[in-house]
C-alpha cells in the first residue's frame, strides 16, 4: 500500500551513486560563460547528454545557455549543507523517478536503491538513449512518464 501524502516527481535523481563525470566539468560548463562554443559542446556532451543524442540538440542547448552565478552558488551551498538523509526519502507520498540510462551526472544507479528502500512508493522509469538532460533529449517520453504518474497520483487541493 502506498502511503498518503503529496507526490513528488524527480527527474535525474542524485543520491548515493557518485557522478561518472570528471570533477568540476559540469560546474565549468554552467559557471564559465567565456568558454568557446566548442568547449561548451564538449562539456555538455560529457556531462548532460547521451552519446546517442543528436548533435543539433546539444548545439541548441549550448547556444541558449544562460548563466545565473548567484543561483549556482546558492544551489551548490544548499547541496553541500543538506545531508542526504534529510531529502533522500522525498517525504512519504508517492514518488516518480525518471532517469536517463546514459546519465553520467546523476547515474541511474541512484533510482534502484530508492526503489528497494521505499518499495511501492516509487515509480521508476528509465529512458534509453537519454542522459541528464532527458527533457531535451526525450521530451515526449519524459512528459509521458510524468503525465502517467500524475494520472495515478493526482494533485489535490490542501485540506
pTM for the model stands at 0.85
Instruction: Give percent of the chain above pLDDT 70.
Output: 94
Per DSSP, 52 falls in state T
pLDDT of 2: 36
Angstrom distance (rounded) from CA 138 to CA 156: 28
The separation between CA 27 and the C-alpha centre of its own chain, rounded to angstroms, equals 15
Angstrom distance (rounded) from CA 138 to CA 124: 16
**Average pLDDT value for residue range 113-136:** 94
Instruction: Give percent of the chain above pLDDT 90.
Output: 58
pLDDT at 157 over 80: no
Q: Which domains does the chain have, with CATH numbers?
A: 8-152 (3.40.50.1820)
pLDDT at 143 over 70: yes
Amino acid at each position: 500500500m502506498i502511503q498518503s501524502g503529496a507526490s513528488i516527481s524527480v527527474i535525474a535523481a542524485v543520491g548515493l551513486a557518485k557522478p561518472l563525470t570528471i570533477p568540476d566539468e559540469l560546474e565549468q560548463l554552467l559557471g564559465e560563460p567565456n568558454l568557446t562554443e566548442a568547449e561548451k559542446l564538449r562539456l555538455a556532451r560529457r556531462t548532460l547528454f547521451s552519446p546517442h543524442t543528436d548533435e543539433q540538440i546539444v548545439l541548441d542547448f549550448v547556444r541558449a545557455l544562460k548563466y545565473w552565478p548567484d543561483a549556482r552558488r546558492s544551489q551548490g551551498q544548499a547541496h553541500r549543507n543538506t545531508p542526504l538523509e534529510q531529502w533522500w526519502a522525498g517525504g512519504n507520498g508517492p514518488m516518480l523517478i525518471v532517469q536517463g540510462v546514459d546519465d553520467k551526472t546523476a547515474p541511474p544507479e541512484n533510482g534502484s536503491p530508492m526503489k528497494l528502500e521505499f518499495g511501492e512508493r516509487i515509480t521508476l522509469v528509465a529512458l534509453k538513449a537519454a542522459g541528464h538532460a532527458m527533457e531535451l533529449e526525450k521530451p515526449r517520453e519524459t512528459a509521458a512518464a510524468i503525465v502517467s504518474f500524475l494520472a495515478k497520483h493526482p494533485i489535490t487541493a490542501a485540506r
